[in-house]
Structure 1
Amino acid sequence: MPVEPLAPSRSVSIVAAGTTGTVPGHRTYWPRLLPALALLACATRLPSFTRPLWNPDEGFLAVQARLLADGGELYETVVDRKPPLVPWLYRAAFAVAGDQSLTSVRVLAIGAQLLTAVLLASLARRRWGDRAGRTAGVLYLLASVGLNPEDAQAATFEIFMLPCTAAAMWSADRRRWGPAGAAVACAFLAKQTGGAVLVPVVWLLWRSGAEGAGAGFAGGARHEGVRFAGGTRRVGVRFAAGAWHEGVRFAAGVAGPVLAAALLTDPGGFVFWTVTGSGAYASFTGSELHVLSRGLANTALLGAACAGFLPPVLRVLRVARTGAADLWLWLGSSAGAVVLGFHFFGHYFLQLTPPLALLGTVALQILPGERTVRAVLTSACACSLFVSWGLLAPRTDLAHAEHVAASVRGRTAPGDRVLVWGMHPETYWLADRTPASRYLTAGLLTNYSGGRDGPQVGEEYAVEGSWDVFRAELAARPPAIVVDDSRGKPFGPERVVGFRRVLRGGGYVRVGVVGGAVVYARGAEQWCR
């Protein structure tokens, strides 16, 4: 299809990244824009307050926060394949507002989305002007809920990672390399894939040094004769030293928060659980068709949410010189992060929304003004559909977890420890009972995750050393009851010998069934032969 004609008053060449565009100094710009963005952030996340939990990740974080409040230690008494920033955030929210509800965390999620939108708006305004700033902030918030509500409305790792990635690009755009490095580190500490923003930030750092050296040599060329040669050498050395210092500041900004997080937890455990201990998890083997179907479905959902501004991106940016190379690098590295691990969960795709919103913004600056209005209206219509979906979505998994939690609560005392063998750690939080093990899901002990039921599920694919620790924990403090919530999944007792031995060795007998989950209590009779 032919490219739409450019607006008569606009040039095809947009202000290059890292430079300041023509930005009128309106004092009322932010006082007007901030309330509008805040209202939009609240409206798009309204469904998040309509249920206690949205997905198991929220449940995992809630249980972690409670264990930390009771004196637990990350990577020791409670573990996960994630960095510590979001569990600490949950812990802080619970300390202020109590741990019986996730309302406080949902409010923080609104703040995180608003901060991301503001940073994107500021970045776009600096490069392309006032209208671009408004467009970027609005487009981001409208697209940010464009996935299955269980992924888009949950207050989980990606939501709190996004403002860090936006802050990294915002700081790099202004050549503030220490804060840029710290923001990259915080993105990684929220979730490992947040470190993908390192790619465009390092590119901006490199280009900053190249531009500075080029300007310096151009200035040196004004000298004549010996003065020219000497001046050029001095300027070159000066800019080389400046570039080196910028690199050092950036590296220190990255290393400082990461080292602090490692020291505040257990350094060995931090490295193992966040970097080296997930080899079996990050594999394409097992349920390939199911995983690919999930990836295609989530791609289609996000594409529908971005339908208002994806066509301008595809039509305009392929022919126009926009100075958006860093944005394409940001999108590409984020796409690589989505693919990493070959799981394609919907919440992974949230990482694509900030660079997509900025690319849509720069594309719309080239086209006539009515295209921006059309793009925003189309995005608003798509957003309203996703918000409605969130308000009306069924609660099948949550209802099951609530029923199991009610049974656990009715069969145990508040001080009892319980073991839920399944993929729904929220059961512990809903039942208000302490887990009997640091491993809150069977996935860490079998490598089962997200529907993966192929050949790489079993004890031999568990996290290294986890079964020895698991058996020692249960032997030291046996759980009052055990809930087998496998419900035909490949990590059930009929396929996992280690779990079958736990039931047999503890003398557990079957005492009930709740929605397919089998409840066992300690008794003299052995059920397993």
Structure 2
Amino acid sequence: MLAPPSPPLRSAPGLRVPGPREEHACEGGAREPYWPRLLPLLAALACVTRLPSFRGPLWSPDEGYLAVQARMLAHGGELYETVVDRKPPLVPWLYAGSFALFGDDSLLPVKLLAVAAQLLTAVLLVSLARRRWGDGAGRTAGVLYLLISIGLNPEDAQAAAFEVFMLPCTAAAMWCADRRRWGAAGAAVACAFLAKQTGGAVLLPVAWLLWRGGAPRRDAWRLTAGLGAPVLAAALLTTPSGFLFWTVTGSGAYASFTGSELHVLVRGLVNAAVLAAACAGIVPPVVRVLRIARTGAAELWLWLAGSAAAVLLGFHFFGHYYLQLMPPLALLAAAALQILPRERTVRAVVVSGCACVVFLAWGLLAPRPELAHAARLAQTVRAHTGPGDRVLFWGMHPEAYWLAGRAPASRYLTAGFLTNYSGGRNGPQVGEKYAVEGAWPVFREELRRHPPALVVDDSRGKPYAPDRVPSLRRVLAVGYEAVARVEGAVVYARLPSVRQQA
């Protein structure tokens, strides 16, 4: 067991010394029932805070992308070959497993799994804080985490997407490292990476705990083996070259900062401000204790720093990236509040609860114009095609395939792969020559072998519109005619003469 943190300075003004019932203790030595009382509260909080996620069929294009991937895998698709994305395989496999068990017409099972993931994250944080600072700190960490866990735009916080399933893996990595279970810690880091690449940032505090504990060389090997085995297995279960390309080496243009720098910077600052508002109850005590006392939690600061670096990586600053900051923030808040007077804990919980209510109302009441637009497009596509027809949505909303119940004509489910339009980038680096390496020859061959019955141009004035993409413009000019318009989107059907020749 690692040495407990140094006690706070008794002479520091405004601080308190934890009482006997709050002293560091082994979890088995609690005098009163702890988990039977706390778990129902955490479960209720997890359910309440995730209520908006059950509003409507889905929340974000990421959920839509995962749903379409899972359907393609169920029909014989191969990940990183005929089904591609710039993400590791764990969450697509999770969706595919859910669809295999419960059907692919609803994301309800996946949304329930997201609730369970948030609850598991909170439980692991409780255990970490309780081991270090006592029962009260454990309760504080778990409750505060769930209260701030929805403190972003609902599209980012409520989606059952990559980050939500990555968070319990990062918390598990810290939990195992705190108990010197290095093989399990490495496996948890690997699972975090396999959920999303930036989850691997938790390796920084885990490695710090290994080094600080003076662990022998065999423990370092255990950590390495635990980390390497799941990643190697995932690569072999897919295809090693495809796994390496799509998860590591093939995203250079996507991760570039060039193009729409001001737009991206504003997005980052806005999302940081939204998160700061959600954390208004916990930031002041953390800053106060940082100034006047030691918390003995260097690994938590490393966890926060590594998570912040992960948010910066890729220079997109999407709101869901910021979810990775929440577990270390909750633990740092628990570390600070167990030193400060008890009324500060009450104030932190109340302020965080009020902020949570605001974000909860936002999620329950906010309009969903893009989802409504995708639903109308899907309805139009269903009216013009049969269940066996392939279609191509030329846009950034892959959920339309899932809503329409039609198979994609290409493995590239968004125009971003073929133009580098990603996350609102509208600068000079958008066009065919900035596509994923080798994508256009594959795309042309897909359209030649299986021409889509419909092509839906959903660019709506964006820089990837067909008039700025010569290859797609030629395809539409030769073989398709416009048959409908839906709120700025143009629906093209194959010409009868082309269908007869095919």
How would you bin the TM-score normalised by the shorter chain? over 0.9
Matching residue of 1:99 = 104
Q: How much has 1:9 moved relative to structure 2?
A: 5.0
CA distance in 1, matches of 2:398, 2:17: 58
Matching residue of 2:382 = 409
Are the structure 2 counterparts of residues 311 and 410 from structure 1 closer, same or farther at C-alpha, using a change threshold of 3 Å? same
Matching residue of 1:194 = 199
Matching residue of 2:490 = 518
Structure 2 alignment gaps of length 5 or more: 1-11
CA distance in 2, matches of 1:6, 1:23: 28
Alignment map for 1:31-50 (pairs within 5 Å): 31-50=36-55
Asked if 1:70 corresponds to 2:42, the answer is no
| Alignment match of 1:253 (pick from 212, 226, 229) | 226
Q: Is the 8 A contact 1:23 1:125 kept in 2?
A: no
Asked if 1:141 corresponds to 2:146, the answer is yes
Q: TM-score scaled by structure 1?
A: 0.90
Matching residue of 2:286 = 313
Q: Is the 8 A contact 1:509 1:525 kept in 2?
A: no
What letter corresponds to residue 494 of structure 1 in structure 2? D
Are the structure 2 counterparts of residues 459 and 20 from structure 1 closer, same or farther at C-alpha, using a change threshold of 3 Å? farther
SS at 2:490 equivalent: strand
Matching residue of 2:119 = 114
- Which stretch of structure 1 is more off in the superposition, 429-438 or 511-520? 511-520
Q: How much has 1:21 moved relative to structure 2?
A: 7.0
Q: How much has 1:95 moved relative to structure 2?
A: 1.4
Asked if 1:7 corresponds to 2:12, the answer is no
Matching residue of 2:241 = 268
- Which stretch of structure 1 is more off in the superposition, 319-328 or 387-396? 319-328
CA distance in 1, matches of 2:59, 2:31: 41
CA distance in 2, matches of 1:245, 1:26: 37
Are the structure 2 counterparts of residues 394 and 244 from structure 1 closer, same or farther at C-alpha, using a change threshold of 3 Å? same
What letter corresponds to residue 344 of structure 1 in structure 2? F
State the identity %: 72
Matching residue of 2:467 = 494
How many residues align? The count is 486
CA distance in 2, matches of 1:9, 1:401: 55
Structure 1 stretches of 4+ moved >3 Å: 8-11, 19-24
Matching residue of 1:294 = 267
What letter corresponds to residue 277 of structure 1 in structure 2? G
Q: Is the 8 A contact 1:286 1:452 kept in 2?
A: yes
Matching residue of 2:297 = 324
What letter corresponds to residue 314 of structure 1 in structure 2? V
Q: How much has 1:23 moved relative to structure 2?
A: 8.0
Q: Is the 8 A contact 1:180 1:253 kept in 2?
A: yes
Q: TM-score scaled by structure 2?
A: 0.94
Matching residue of 1:473 = 446
Q: Is the 8 A contact 1:4 1:367 kept in 2?
A: no
What letter corresponds to residue 53 of structure 1 in structure 2? L
Matching residue of 1:424 = 397
What is the root-mean-square deviation in Å for CA atoms of aligned residues?
Answer: 1.7
Asked if 1:84 corresponds to 2:56, the answer is no
SS at 1:292 equivalent: helix
Matching residue of 2:3 = none
Matching residue of 2:362 = 389
Q: How much has 1:379 moved relative to structure 2?
A: 0.4
Alignment map for 1:271-282 (pairs within 5 Å): 271-282=244-255
* Bigger Rg, which one: 1
Q: How much has 1:502 moved relative to structure 2?
A: 2.2
Q: Is the 8 A contact 1:77 1:438 kept in 2?
A: yes
CA distance in 1, matches of 2:401, 2:332: 43
Q: Is the 8 A contact 1:23 1:126 kept in 2?
A: no
Are the structure 2 counterparts of residues 337 and 9 from structure 1 closer, same or farther at C-alpha, using a change threshold of 3 Å? closer
What letter corresponds to residue 330 of structure 1 in structure 2? W
CA distance in 1, matches of 2:387, 2:17: 71
- What do the CA deviations read for 1:435-456 (whole angstroms, capped 9, x no partner)? 0000000001101011110011
Q: How much has 1:25 moved relative to structure 2?
A: 1.8
SS at 1:512 equivalent: strand
CA distance in 2, matches of 1:471, 1:355: 46
| Alignment match of 1:132 (pick from 137, 154, 158) | 137
CA distance in 2, matches of 1:502, 1:437: 14
Asked if 1:165 corresponds to 2:165, the answer is no
Q: Is the 8 A contact 2:254 2:420 kept in 1?
A: yes
Q: Is the 8 A contact 1:423 1:441 kept in 2?
A: yes
Matching residue of 1:351 = 324
SS at 1:475 equivalent: helix
Are the structure 2 counterparts of residues 4 and 97 from structure 1 closer, same or farther at C-alpha, using a change threshold of 3 Å? farther
